[in-house]
Amino acid sequence: MTKTKVFVCGICGRMGTVISQMVKANPNLELAGGIDIAAGEAHGVKVVTTKDLAAFIDEVHPDVMIDFTVAAATMQNAKIAAAKGVNLVIGTTGFADEQEAELKEAVKNVAVVKTGNFSMGVNIFWELVREAAKRLGDYDIEVIEAHHRNKKDAPSGTAKTILRILEEETGKTEEMYGRCGMTERKDEIGVHVIRGGDVVGDHTVQFHQNYETISLTHRAYDRSVFARGAVKAAEWTASAKPGMYTMKEVLGL
């Protein structure tokens, strides 16, 4: 059986490390190398930087790139990989709307699985939020997320997806980020971001009305929940046609 060759962009990072270990433990996959900001070796494979990426792909012929870096890095590396016909699994968050549009256009020749959260639980949580929002559109809605102190972007990609779902289902388009001073609650969705310690990822959506609150929470205790989804997505791309996908298609939700 031929193994799917995977290389990991951001291989030295928190997610890159867990993903590399999982790829190595998966009999259907081969860890073929990595990219990071410094060249060298990690997890027993060669690591190159962006300037040597095209040559690396020509030499190693990887099937798929798993990317967990920062938006600016993804914009460069994903374009190079897609131009060489390498499928993409993108977990990086914090893209500006223009970057999202540019990326979508640049990588349409390959299969791309891109989501702000690869955990199966969160993908089901999003469905639950959608169901609740359908019925509770006239409630006061607040979104709260917490992550570790090193997370760069805010709000999280997962919270942005929650906000998109709430907007689609309730028509509420206005968001209020934190509250300070004289604030009068109108029909906005409140968004609250907490950063500290080693919190892996907490998301809560509250629906308030007089005398009652419904609260939905997802809490990730370990990065392996995201890594498992990303690795599953990488396997899935081997038989996927070019196009943009999310975990909905990968998990068959």
Ligand X SMILES: NC(=O)c1ccc[n+]([C@@H]2O[C@H](COP(=O)([O-])OP(=O)(O)OC[C@H]3O[C@@H](n4cnc5c(N)ncnc54)[C@H](O)[C@@H]3O)[C@@H](O)[C@H]2O)c1
- Quick one: which of 245, 203, 251 has its CA closest to 229? 251
Which of 43, 147, 218, 232 is the catalytic position? 147
Print the binding letters for residues 41-60 with ligand X: x by CB under 6 A, - otherwise: ---------x----------
State which of residues 22, 73, 165, 205 lies at the interface with ligand X (CB under 6 A): 73
Size of the site for ligand X (CB under 6 A): 27
Give the separation between CA 33 and CA 215, rounded to whole angstroms: 43
Task: Find the part of the chain contacting ligand X (CB under 6 A) among 67-75, 134-142, 164-172, 179-187.
Answer: 67-75
State which of residues 4, 5, 8, 10 lies at the interface with ligand X (CB under 6 A): 10
State which of residues 3, 14, 192, 228 lies at the interface with ligand X (CB under 6 A): 14
- Strand order in 243-245's β-sheet? 40-42, 45-48, 29-35, 4-9, 64-67, 87-90, 111-114, 243-245
Contact 62, 7 (CB under 8 A): yes
Q: Work out the burial of residue 4: count CB atoms within 10 Å of its CB; fewer than 13 is exposed, 13-18 middle, 19 or more buried.
A: buried
What part of residues 102-141 is at the interface with ligand X (CB under 6 A)? 115-118
Give the separation between CA 141 and CA 107, rounded to whole angstroms: 36
- Strand order in 201-209's β-sheet? 175-177, 189-195, 140-147, 201-209, 212-220
Q: Does 37 bind ligand X (CB under 6 A)?
A: yes
Q: Does 92 bind ligand X (CB under 6 A)?
A: yes
| Whether 218 is catalytic | no
Contact 110, 84 (CB under 8 A): no
Task: Find the part of the chain contacting ligand X (CB under 6 A) among 20-28, 35-43, 105-113, 178-186.
Answer: 35-43
| Whether 151 is catalytic | yes
At closest approach, how far in Å is the CB of 44 from ligand X?
Answer: 17
Task: Find the part of the chain contacting ligand X (CB under 6 A) among 14-22, 56-64, 208-216, 236-244.
Answer: 14-22
Q: Backbone phi, then psi, for 238, in 5-degree steps?
A: -60, -30
* H helix or E strand, kind and range, residue 247: helix 247-251
**Residues in touch with ligand X (CB under 6 A):** 9-10, 12-16, 35-37, 50, 68-70, 73, 77, 91-94, 115-118, 153, 157, 226
List active site positions.
147, 151
